[in-house]
Amino acid sequence: MVQKESARRGRPRSYDPDTALANAMAVFWHAGYSGTSLDDITAGTGMNRPSLYGAFGDKRALYLHTLERYRALGRAAFAAALSPDRPLREALRQVYDTALTVYYAGDAGARGCFLIGTALVESVNDADVRKMLRDALREFDAAFKARFLTARDRGELPRDADASVLATLASALLYTLAIRSRAGEPRKALEAMIDPVLDLICGKPPRRR
């Protein structure tokens, strides 16, 4: 019979994993993976190198953890925004408004999307990053497509509407917002792109008399 340990030996863990990942993600978000040093990460997280290695592995492993965290947050945000409890047009606008709020929330200015802004560069030479990026983009398409299928069944879209094509269009706008915000374009300029795309997907709303 193996006796269970009542407590682990050594000092108790003095950091919160999610907070540490959030802080590490902010550092990578600012300078990208290649432009971020371990010193930058230790300064941003308040953890020394042995603690970082013990908690997350090396720099690459830590970066992969931050990508997973961002994907999980994005998945939850998509599910909330695309809820079938709200009309399709309102749901799509919620997706883009939420995304823009994230893209423009950087302390140093507009930062764009963490996934697209950092993983695109690293995906060229890192198969794991490339797969994670590809899977994430497919998740966006799938989430949009599922919502469009629901909308079509409810009569919010024509019966012959191609949910896959509409999902590609909806995702394309999201990527455009991510890239152009990172490039420093004003938020109002990007917000002006939303309604024309919503008109293409949902149809133009009736004019008020």
What are 5-28's pLDDT values in tens digits?
Answer: 333 443 345 568 889 999 999 999
**Residue environment code for 48-79, b if the CB has 16+ CB neighbours within 10 A, otherwise e:** eeebbeebbeebeebbbbbbebbbeebeebbe
Contact 119, 133 (CB under 8 A): yes
Query: 209: pLDDT confidence band, cut at 50, 70 and 90?
Result: low
> pTM to 2 decimals?
0.87
Q: Give the integer Cα–Cα distance in Å for 10 and 6.
A: 13
What's the pLDDT score for residue 110?
Answer: 87
Average pLDDT over residues 98-109: 88
Q: Give the integer Cα–Cα distance in Å for 201 and 88.
A: 9
Checking if the pLDDT of 201 tops 70, the result is yes
Average pLDDT over residues 143-158: 97
What's the pLDDT score for residue 10?
Answer: 36
What's the pLDDT score for residue 13?
Answer: 52
pLDDT digits (tens, 9 = 90+) for 121-144: 999 999 999 999 999 999 999 999
Percent of the chain with pLDDT over 70: 91
Checking if the pLDDT of 188 tops 60, the result is yes
